[in-house]
Amino acid sequence: MSSIFGYMKNIYVLVLILTVISCENIKKKKNMSLVNIEKEFFGKTSDGTDVSQYTLKNSNGMHVSVINYGGIITSWKAKDRDGNYKDIVLGFNDLSEYESSSPYFGALIGRYGNRIKEGKFNLDGVEYTLAVNNGENHLHGGLKGFDKVIWDIEEDVNESSASLVLSYLSNDMEEGYPGNLDVKVTYTLSNNDELKVRYEAETDRSTVINLTQHTYFNLSADLSRHILDHQITIYADSFLPIDSTLIPTGELKDVEGTPFDFRELKRVGDDINESDRQLTFGNGYDHCWVLNNQDEGIRFVASAYDPLSGRLLEIFSDQPGLQFYTGNFLDGTIKSKNDGIYDFRSGFCLETQHYPNSPNEKSFPSVILNPGEKYDTETIFRFSTR
């Protein structure tokens, strides 16, 4: 009798194990079916080139949409504390608006993100002249930077993530930069509600490079609402003061006792209207912070929290700097993708990068890429709620 009981017990255990395995396999298949990339036609450029939109989806419900024009993130749906998924980035529904009136909404920026003084730099004894497209300075790669080119795209999906691999060859002297530059940017959306952005590049001639991502966030998902109630952390003990043309002076200034101290979570609007020469120059925050622990590689560098929705964005990077911009030049003249307008300070940017004007500041970390070297950097955007 005891042997029969033991036999039945073993059968029960075996059935239980098989059931658990079956459930896990069903769960994996379900997740794999939810992690995917959907492709659709987005529009034609002014010269007649077709542009596609790729929407990365994870198993939780997060969606990130990217077009091959400019590598632009056109939409990013993240959940609030009640589990509602809404779009939290500024952008357009129409391609022509990205071509004609976009202030770099969601775009990949290169060859050099941010400003270079008077559009000039010296490399190996040769002076290079770039387009002057921001007052007297060069900004974000020039007249046709990486935000305005068509990228080649490959898709990669597995059970836990969806990736887009964007490739572009920037020819020697394109926008005035030396060297044929092979660039690859990989967007990877995981089931951890993280978007990883990896930048890679190689050159056949010494050049300068500083790639970044220029998404404007509004975590409330009300894209016309100001972002002054958002709370920001920037893990930096100093920042780069600028002159009246927004070029760093070369000084590193301690944030202690200034409106630029975001080492602890602070509301954006608390100090933005203070009587401060630096805030006057930037019309608000439009500065680069000198991030701490630069020798540690990828580490926590910043966060943004919206008390209204409960959305929390945490940023991790291996870069030395972070440009915090508070939408100071949005003026209500640009129509939003939800039939409203993009008003003053209705979006903010947290752009991981090297320092502005580094090619002309020898004390700043080097932005030179030589033949045989590889540019390889990564930034992670992680979402949660509280």
Helix (H, G, I), strand (E, B) or coil at 99: helix
Q: What is the DSSP string of 133-201?
A: -BTTBEETTSTT-GGGSBPEEEEEE-SSEEEEEEEEEE-TTGGG--S-EEEEEEEEEETTSEEEEEEEE
Helix (H, G, I), strand (E, B) or coil at 267: strand
Q: For this structure, is 354 an active site residue?
A: no
Taking residue 64's Cβ as centre, other Cβ atoms within 10 Å add up to: 25
> Which among 44, 89, 99, 70 has a CA at the least distance from the CA of 338?
89
Taking residue 95's Cβ as centre, other Cβ atoms within 10 Å add up to: 22
> What is the rounded distance in angstroms from the CA atom of residue 247 to the CA atom of residue 106?
23
Q: What count of Cα atoms within 13 Å lies in the side-chain half-sphere of residue 92? A: 20
Q: Which of 174, 175, 351, 378 is catalytic?
A: 351
Q: For this structure, is 214 an active site residue?
A: yes
Determine whether 283 is exposed, middle or buried from the number of CB atoms within 10 Å of its CB (0-12, 13-18, 19+): middle
Helix (H, G, I), strand (E, B) or coil at 313: strand
**Could you tell me the CA-to-CA distances from 220 to 77, 313, 341 in Å, in that order?**
11, 12, 15
Q: Which of 214, 226, 287, 354 is catalytic?
A: 214
> What is the rounded distance in angstroms from the CA atom of residue 301 to the CA atom of residue 257?
20
Number of helices (H) and strands (E) in the chain: give both, helices first. 3, 29
Measured at the CA of 263, the angle between CA 261 and CA 266, to 5 degrees, comes to: 75
Q: What is the DSSP letter of 210?
A: B
CA dihedral 354, 359, 361, 362 (to 10 degrees): 100
Residues labelled catalytic: 214, 351
